[in-house]
A and B are shown apart, each in its own frame.
Chain A
Amino acid sequence: MSTISIESVTKRFPNGFEALKGISTEIAAGSFTVILGPSGAGKSTLLRLLNGLEIPSGGSIRIAGEALDKGNLRKLRSSVAMVFQQFNLVDRLSVVTNVLTGRLAHRSWVGSVFYLFRTEDMDIAQQALARVGLTDKAWSRADKLSGGQQQRVGIARALAQRPKVILADEPVASLDPVSSEEIMGLLREIRDRDGITVVVNLHQVDLAKRFADRIIGMNSGRVVFDGPPAELSPQALRTIYQREGMEHDNHLDLALAYA
């Protein structure tokens, strides 16, 4: 059973840049998929399409059998959470309020006008914070936390939503190695315990190999590799990270030697 099915999706931006040149794939429910690829390969665009933050120029996306379009955007988003590279928290709100915004999808605007939440939503938010180990920071302002802690708040917000899918767009790109390890471990644990489908964009090949069930390699808007981490050979990495017009790329050799 697949949660996400992507069918010949293309994306062309108004400036003419073609970020995705026909992507078709299925992502199984409860899987941990990592998307690898150089900057500008279209990884972020793909993830943003899955959440409806961008609208595809062609092709279709179905999440849990339902096609993604403008009409049911909010409904589908309520089951698709997103974790961002820059955390995208509301700095001036308390940590717990940020987590509570994950509940908004399930609540009408009437209570929101008065910043009111249900008690059950508060319980869910506190549970989510406990999961990421930030119960003691609940009432701090979000911008008073360190980067690693802010990303954990981001994950708690995603969890509070009770999603089927969590999309993470380079969640560890602005973090130190220890925090990165922690965040990836959290995402993995969420997949294992809650059976939530996790799709992560990464720059770190070693993290991808260790945490993923499946790796999708992208280069200039196309899928160039798709398989389990064991199949990610040096040759495959070359295909993923190759640069246009470079017959022999010294930087590539050097970078992959340590991957």
Chain B
Amino acid sequence: MTTISIWRWPTPNGLPPLPLVAALCAVLGAMWFTASLVEVDWVHLVGSLGKMAAFAGHFLVRPDWEYLPQLFDKMLETIEMTVLATAIAIVVSLPLGVLAARNATPHIVVYRVVRDLLSLMRALPELVWALVFVSAVGLGPLPGVMALALVTVGFMGKFFAEAIEVVDHKPVEGVRAHGAGWLQVRLFAMLPQALPDFVGTVMYILDHNLRAATILGLVGAGGIGYDLVMAMRLFQYDRLILIALAIYLVVTLLDRLSDQLRSRIIHGARA
């Protein structure tokens, strides 16, 4: 029988590449076997839908407008923590990013050490670092900022380094050939090329940090999180809905801002 198939993959024999198929099967198989371990139970999942709906019903309340001034204060504190932590992280991450980029590092050993340092910073989530710093310096926004900044350096340093690693080598050579020094080459040839990526990273991280800052209050590290948890525990849904809306509003505004800023930087100021 000569059935000529219409469909084929762009491989020599027309079949999907074997390693890909094998990897896919392995992942699916692993998920199948472990599903019972992590208690993914379809019956339970569907059965919970009713409870979810009942819970959502609690939000159909008149918002507690009296709470607005305090919400505003706490939200402002959250934003301040976010911006401050991100700003500190940018200043620290830029040099670390250069040291952790294969094509910009002064030595391969420095590259390895900085990379490992960055992953150490990222290893624990903000909340855990916040616990550590709350124990060290006491309650309030300060340990929150410290925890946020630390984890952010871990991520931003890595992202910056990767942005530097993909810059075009030709302009780098162009600047180097004219006798620019080590730092000058990095500042004038690599940095401008990596800038759009940097801005993208910073905007993403601001977004992420804002959300991270909202939960740091959980462990007493300042921000809206404390109010959020208290409202949840005391079943104050009239406050909860305001807090949730406020967070959503700020995150959305930030997103708009980041879109504008990015297109400005990528396409130039007047384009």
A interface, CB within 8 angstroms of B: 51, 53, 74-75, 77-78, 80-82, 84, 86-93, 97, 101-102, 104-106, 108-109, 112-113, 115, 141, 144, 154, 157-158, 161
Which residues of B163-217 are within 8 A (CB) of A? 170-171, 173-184, 187-189, 192-193, 195-196
Contact B179 A77 (CB under 8 A): yes
- Of the residues A97, A113, A144, contact of B183 by C-beta under 8 Å: A113
5 CB contacts below 8 A, A to B, read A88-B171, A92-B192, A104-B184, A141-B268, A154-B174
Contact A105 B192 (CB under 8 A): no
Taken together as a complex, chains A and B put the C-alpha atoms of A106 and B180 apart, in Å, by 8
Q: Point out the residues of chain A lying under 8 angstroms from B193, CB to CB.
A: 90-92
Say yes or no: A101-B175 contact (C-beta < 8 A), given A90-B192, A92-B192, A112-B187: yes
Of chain B, the residue at the smallest CB distance from A86 is B170
Say yes or no: A157-B181 contact (C-beta < 8 A), given A89-B171, A90-B189, A92-B195: no
Count A/B pairs, Cβ under 8 Å.
91
Q: Please, how many residues of chain B have a CB less than 8 angstroms from a CB on the other chain?
A: 22
Contact A84 B179 (CB under 8 A): no
Taken together as a complex, chains A and B put the C-alpha atoms of A161 and B187 apart, in Å, by 18
Taken together as a complex, chains A and B put the C-alpha atoms of A51 and B187 apart, in Å, by 21
Taken together as a complex, chains A and B put the C-alpha atoms of A113 and B177 apart, in Å, by 19
Sample of 5 more A-B contacts, CB < 8 Å, known A90-B193, A101-B180, A104-B179: A77-B177, A82-B178, A84-B177, A93-B192, A105-B180
Say yes or no: A53-B188 contact (C-beta < 8 A), given A89-B171, A112-B183, A141-B268: no
Contact A104 B174 (CB under 8 A): no
Contact B180 A104 (CB under 8 A): yes
Q: Point out the residues of chain B lying under 8 angstroms from A112, CB to CB.
A: 181, 183-184, 187-188
Of chain B, the residue at the smallest CB distance from A105 is B179
- Of the residues A81, A84, A113, A141, contact of B173 by C-beta under 8 Å: A84
Contact A109 B184 (CB under 8 A): yes
Of chain B, the residue at the smallest CB distance from A79 is B179
A27 CB to closest chain B CB (Å) equals 18
Contact B178 A93 (CB under 8 A): no
Q: Point out the residues of chain B lying under 8 angstroms from A77, CB to CB.
A: 176-179
Contact A51 B188 (CB under 8 A): no
Taken together as a complex, chains A and B put the C-alpha atoms of A157 and B268 apart, in Å, by 22
Q: Point out the residues of chain A lying under 8 angstroms from B192, CB to CB.
A: 90-93
Q: Point out the residues of chain B lying under 8 angstroms from A97, CB to CB.
A: 188
